[in-house]
Amino acid sequence: MEKNRKYQIMTGAVLVMVISLATSFAQAQNICACEPDLYTCQDFSRADEAQECFSYCQKQTGADVHKFDLDGNGKACDSN
């Protein structure tokens, strides 16, 4: 009985680890959608979120799909 309980706790802990790993992997892989003009700077509450999305979509599509960096200095939402 005691052994069985320990096994259940271990299994539960491993399961939680796997789920949280999978979740963080999914988030890292999909920072934001890169369909053109889906967002404006106002859609992001933090400046670094817009920057992350800008860098991510730049990498995915090779373009500033959301027009976050109109002045082309590499910084998203700094002047527009």
Question: Where does this chain bind Ca ion (CB under 5 A)?
Answer: 69, 71, 73, 75, 78
Whose Cβ is closer to Ca ion: residue 6's or residue 46's? 46
Least separation in angstroms between residue 36's CB and Ca ion is 18
**Which residue lies nearest Ca ion, judged by its C-beta?**
69
Coil, strand or helix at 49? helix
Whose Cβ is closer to Ca ion: residue 34's or residue 76's? 76
Q: Are 54 and 63 in contact (CB under 8 A)?
A: no
- Distance, CA of 2 to CA of 5 (rounded, Å): 5
Structure token pair of residue 60: 């995915």
DSSP 8-state code for residue 71: T
Least separation in angstroms between residue 50's CB and Ca ion is 10
